Amino acid sequence: MSIKSEVSMLEEIISPITLREFKEKYWPLNPLVSPGNLERFKRINGFEKITSIEEALKIYSNPVMVVGDAVIEELEGISDRMLVPPSEALEWYEKGAALELDFTDLFIPQVRRWADKLKAELDLPLGTGAKAIVYAAKNGGGFKAHFDAYTNFIFQIKGKKTWKLQDNVNVNYPVQHYDLVEAPYLPEELDSYWDGLHPEEELPEADIVDLIPGTMLYLPRGIWHSTESNEETLALNITLGQPTWMDLFLSTLRQEMVKNEDFRKLAYNFNTVQDTDKEKMKKNLEKMIEQLGEIVNGLSSREVFHNQDKDFDPYQTTQLVFRQLLTDYKE
Ligand SMILES: [Fe+2]
């Protein structure tokens, strides 16, 4: 192994903060704004290919998500986003749509490797999803208040974008995305561990941070945030999945349960089966609950750790396959 590969690239970016300090004080809960000059991003191999949206589109042979008012107009209000061929993306950009180049790492192997290295440096399980996304907008725009179930490292390359960041006092460690505009509606699962009142739409308690070229922002999952800009912007995000202990347990349990044919049998709708079968179904389920208890009691921490390489995010995996299928690798 060369000496270079042992140097933490994250540490090079956040210096003088060390990787160790980052893990102690910021990761995984607290945001970090790391100002600096744009040149330092070039220490990350592959970043030099993202100097402008035009350059990025030269290597990105995949449908591009275009977002904004121009799209709403085109689709007569049905949606604010759609996928367009990469050859049409700049036309949409000129019309004012924001562009989202999801899975940009598919086209820059060095960035793919950097994202994987970052994952390892942060001690994330092997099955954690990691990807790069380029965001570009000619006339600014932004996202309304929300929080994500992922974590992001945001590298501002062009223009100024103002971010509001506010602590989440409603939920700790959320496992799903939530847009504040949905309030007071809460999805059932999120509601089950939600506490207190929603924040106000404008996030009045937020810290306001200007991301200018050369600034890196570490945005943990769950932090309320909104963005705004009035100028041409370009940013590269490295997005990391956040597998939970629950995910590792569920993988481990499945691995054991699938060995028992009772758990593999067809399930029925309790409400529609004949009354005479209801009692039988109840008894069977109770027997399985007992078996499940035995499985849980027989688990070892080693078995749970061992499941760190499982696919924790089938949605992202499906997206990746879809992106790979649409990728035209021909020059
Ligand atoms: Fe977000």
Per-residue pLDDT of the chain (331 residues; tens, 9 = 90+): 444 456 788 999 999 999 999 999 999 999 999 999 999 998 888 999 999 999 999 999 899 999 988 999 999 999 989 999 999 999 999 999 999 999 999 999 999 999 999 999 999 999 999 999 999 999 887 899 999 999 999 999 999 999 999 999 999 999 999 999 999 999 999 999 999 999 999 999 999 999 999 999 999 999 999 999 999 999 999 999 999 999 999 999 999 999 999 999 999 999 999 999 999 999 999 999 999 999 999 999 999 999 999 888 888 888 888 888 888 655 4
- Number of independent structural domains in the chain: 2
Instruction: Please give the distance, rounded to the nearest whole angstrom, from the Cα atom of residue 184 to the centre of ligand 1.
Output: 19
- Where among 190, 211, 243 does a domain terminate? 243
CATH of the domain at 100: 2.60.120.650
Instruction: Please give the distance, rounded to the nearest whole angstrom, from the Cα atom of residue 75 to the centre of ligand 1.
Output: 24
Specify if 224 maps to a domain.
yes
Residue 2 has a pLDDT of 43
Residue 322 has a pLDDT of 83
Are 150 and 144 spatial neighbours (Cβ–Cβ below 8 Å)? Answer: no
- Where among 228, 243, 258 does a domain terminate? 243
Instruction: Please give the distance, rounded to the nearest whole angstrom, from the Cα atom of residue 122 to the centre of ligand 1.
Output: 20
Residue 43 has a pLDDT of 87
User: Which contacts of 175-182 are long-range, i.e. CB under 8 A and separated by 24 or more positions?
Assistant: 175/149, 175/242, 175/244, 175/246, 176/149, 177/146, 177/147, 177/148, 177/149, 178/146, 178/147, 179/144, 179/145, 179/146, 180/144, 180/145, 180/146, 180/224, 181/144, 181/145, 181/146
Q: Which two tokens stand for residue 33?
A: 């704004």
Shared domain for 65 and 111, answered yes or no, is yes
The domain of 91 spans 9-243
3-state SS class at 109 = helix
Instruction: Please give the distance, rounded to the nearest whole angstrom, from the Cα atom of residue 145 to the centre of ligand 1.
Output: 8
Shared domain for 212 and 288, answered yes or no, is no
Shared domain for 74 and 184, answered yes or no, is yes
Instruction: Please give the distance, rounded to the nearest whole angstrom, from the Cα atom of residue 246 to the centre of ligand 1.
Output: 23
Instruction: Please give the distance, rounded to the nearest whole angstrom, from the Cα atom of residue 146 to the centre of ligand 1.
Output: 6
Shared domain for 178 and 269, answered yes or no, is no
Shared domain for 138 and 272, answered yes or no, is no
Instruction: Please give the distance, rounded to the nearest whole angstrom, from the Cα atom of residue 225 to the centre of ligand 1.
Output: 7
Specify if 66 maps to a domain.
yes
Specify if 326 maps to a domain.
no
Shared domain for 151 and 252, answered yes or no, is no
Shared domain for 147 and 294, answered yes or no, is no
Shared domain for 191 and 274, answered yes or no, is no
Residue 3 has a pLDDT of 44
- Where among 187, 214, 243 does a domain terminate? 243
Shared domain for 239 and 250, answered yes or no, is no
Specify if 320 maps to a domain.
no
Residue 319 has a pLDDT of 87
Specify if 72 maps to a domain.
yes
Instruction: Please give the distance, rounded to the nearest whole angstrom, from the Cα atom of residue 67 to the centre of ligand 1.
Output: 15
Specify if 317 maps to a domain.
no
Specify if 321 maps to a domain.
no
Shared domain for 211 and 261, answered yes or no, is no
Shared domain for 145 and 169, answered yes or no, is yes
Shared domain for 194 and 97, answered yes or no, is yes
Residue 328 has a pLDDT of 65
Specify if 49 maps to a domain.
yes
User: 117, exposed or middle or buried, with CB in 10 Å at 0-12, 13-18, 19+?
Assistant: middle
